[in-house]
Chain A
Amino acid sequence: MYDAPLRKTDVEANEIKISAKDVQVFYGDNHAIKDVSVELQDKTVTAFIGPSGCGKSTFLRCLNRMNDTIDVCRVEGLIALDGEDIYDKRVDPVQLRAKVGMVFQKPNPFPKSIYDNVAYGPRIHGLAKNKAELDDIVEKALRRGAIWNEVKDRLHAPGTGLSGGQQQRLCIARAVATEPEVLLMDEPCSALDPIATAQVEELIDELRTNYSVVIVTHSMQQAARVSQKTAFFHLGNLVEYGETSQIFTNPVDSRTESYITGRIG
């Protein structure tokens, strides 16, 4: 069950980037996340695994306050980015999301050109003073998204015209263009074929040099391949959190073991 990790990138990681304490999430009357406390490290890929409906995506969306857009959703507890409470009343969620970027399950490029897709974030945040700087940012982001070589000759072609895997890497490039500190990925490969998945996984491993990456995945193999830390969610509870190798080879909780051996989920 335990795939050999990619582990191409060598990074020292130990600082705590995001810490969550006693987080509760309610959708109306539905208690979706129960008492989740977790500390996510900087420059580390952390995978959230668990069966459908276990709350892993919900918890991920708490980390950049995307749940704010859902009226009935209520978050309690403390989530801190570098020690600062992100649910503080004075925190502007828009500013937070510039620091905590997000890549979604389905590739969702804007129906604009490839260039404009990547340039949008820097433009609205005023990261570039002039066209040349913006060009630089776009190129850098596309290189980091490992898609530069494929699109450099057609930057002004529509982003929606790319293949699924290319679109997802474009979305990753778009997310890194705003220089976030944390990158949240909600099942980024579930709509991709195995080759595109491999490309994106490699990319995730490289991104670890600059960002703290949190990835939600349904595929345990993927979690094993790309992550250093793994958190197993079940029915809204964080069951187990630890080194990926330990979770997959020697889980402490019986539920974790049942899940990774395929008996529940």
Chain B
Amino acid sequence: MTDATSQGGSRLTAADSRTKKRNASEKRFRAYGLAAIGTGLFFLVVLLTSIISNGSTAFMQTFIEVPVYLDPEALDPNGNRDPADISKVSTFGYNPLIQNAVFEQVQDKGIATDYEDAGDMRALISASAAAQLRDRVIANPDLIGETVDFQILASSRVDGYLKGRVSRDSITQDRNIDAGHLDLVDALREDGTVHKSFNFAFITGADASESRPEQAGLGVSMLGSLFMMLVVLFLALPIGVAASIYLEEFAPQNKFTDFIEVNISNLAAVPSIVFGILGLAAFIQFAHLPQSAPLVGGLTLTLMTLPTIVISTRASLKAVPPSIRDAALGVGASKMQSVFHHVLPLAMPGILTGTIIGLAQALGETAPLLLIGMVGYIATNYPEGVISGFMSPNSAMPAQIYEWAKRADPAYYERAWGGIIILLVFLLVMNVIAIILRRKFERRW
């Protein structure tokens, strides 16, 4: 103080060395904070751009649109349009029709090509196209004998060529496709026969085998995730909330409850794969529930989510002011009435938020599913009903993404990223719901 005045400046405006130091350190601290947030934001932007740039292409798919003549001699040799007979014709019966259709289109358009055989068109066409056409014919046998416009799924090489993943250089070693095919694609693309359009099958479809990435979709595993989340919601929420209410409001304070408390906190930190092993041992090996079933996945994820729900529920119960409990007891409410009429409604926003955060965590969990057989190529279609939805083998969204990411075909790479986009959209939606619910139920006291 005396220093400042002796220097002749005002006592208030001239900062002494101590103040300067303090201000500098304060500024430094603020700079650290900004730097930390900036780094976080930078990586968030990097993450989002890489996810979107890598994954958005999965939402577009290449199709070849040509009229296909459904030859009655090949598809219905007996000529009676009996569905049983028609379904005896395998995809081998359809392949030549599709290849002919594409070949005729090439000739009709007068595109110069060295290929002289319709069979050479196979490289352009997805192995799944025949199955799709067959499904359509079986669903509507009257189409036989007619010429229908059909969106043929292009092979993943053609799709990759249109998306820039495949080039003439990259296919020199490829035995499935030649540079001549790419010339053909270029020509067909110019007249609109080959085009990209929105890929609904990616969102609604089932997983496909390793060699048919163009057909793979996330829809069935989405259902798997949905059934698992139903199990988690209907088990973890009531059990978790009941346990927290008991521990927080009713249980006596003693060594035993302390022990339980410590263990719940510890459980929240247990690696999820441990829960996977527990699920495998308890639900599959001991209880003999079916492997790979969303029911088992849901039960395992319930175990994993419970600590999260218990901790957040207890925190929000604790946050309800004790004066509210006193008020209820003071007018002669029983302990249970005071909890259910007053404390629980006030704690509801916190409980719901915790539950949804727990669900979102469970939705994105892969490791426990590894051990109960929900990761891998599970050849499955839509479950036939609710029971089969719970019991029949299925995968889950993150497990499906993991599965795609480890497959060899680079076409699966973009599927994995696309799957991540869908998963993130779900997580975003759940978080938004949590925020809306919290706003809606929040009451001040």
Contacts and interface: CB of A to CB of B under 8 A. Distances in A.
Contacts of B330: 64, 66, 97, 101-104, 175
A174 B323 CA distance: 14
Nearest to A118: B331
A3 to B, nearest CB: 29
A20 interface: no
B175 interface: no
Contacts of B327: 104, 108-110, 171, 174
Q: Interface size class for chain A? A: 20 to 34
B323 A98 contact: no
Interface stretch (B206-214, B334-342, B426-434): B334-342
Nearest to B346: A111
Interface stretch (A76-84, A119-127, A129-137, A206-214): A119-127
Contacts of B333: 94, 120-121, 124
Given A104-B323, A108-B326, A121 B331 contact: yes
A121 B334 CA distance: 11
5 contacts: A66-B326, A99-B332, A104-B330, A108-B324, A111-B443
A178 B337 CA distance: 16
Given A101-B331, A104-B330, A110-B324, A120 B445 contact: no
B33 interface: no
Contacts, number: 71
B119 interface: no
A108 to B, nearest CB: 4
A254 interface: no
Interface in A160-204: 160, 171, 174-175, 177-178
A97 B253 contact: no
B329 interface: yes
Contacts of B329: 66, 69, 97
Contacts of B18: none
Nearest to B252: A71
B88 interface: no
A106 B322 CA distance: 11
A97 B444 contact: no
Interface in B311-351: 321, 323-335, 337, 341-342, 346
Interface residues of B, number: 23
A149 interface: no
Nearest to B330: A102
A107 B39 CA distance: 47
B280 to A, nearest CB: 41
A72 B254 CA distance: 10
Given A94-B332, A178-B331, A124 B326 contact: no
Nearest to B332: A98
A14 interface: no
Contact of B331 (A71, A72, A175): A175
A30 interface: no
Given A111-B443, A120-B341, A97 B332 contact: yes
A69 B331 CA distance: 14
B195 to A, nearest CB: 60
Nearest to B345: A111
A111 B323 CA distance: 11
Contact of A121 (B252, B324, B332, B443): B332
A111 B445 contact: yes
Contacts of A106: 323
A180 to B, nearest CB: 8
Interface centre among A64, A103, A110 (most CB of B within 10 A): A110
A95 interface: yes
Interface in B283-335: 321, 323-335
Given A110-B342, A120-B331, A104 B326 contact: yes
B184 to A, nearest CB: 72
B324 to A, nearest CB: 6
A102 B163 CA distance: 75
A69 B326 CA distance: 9
A160 B253 contact: no
Contacts of A120: 328, 331, 333, 341
Interface in B17-76: none
A124 B323 contact: no
Contacts of B443: 111
A45 to B, nearest CB: 19
Contacts of B331: 97-98, 101, 120-121, 124, 174-175, 177-178
Contacts of B324: 108, 110-111
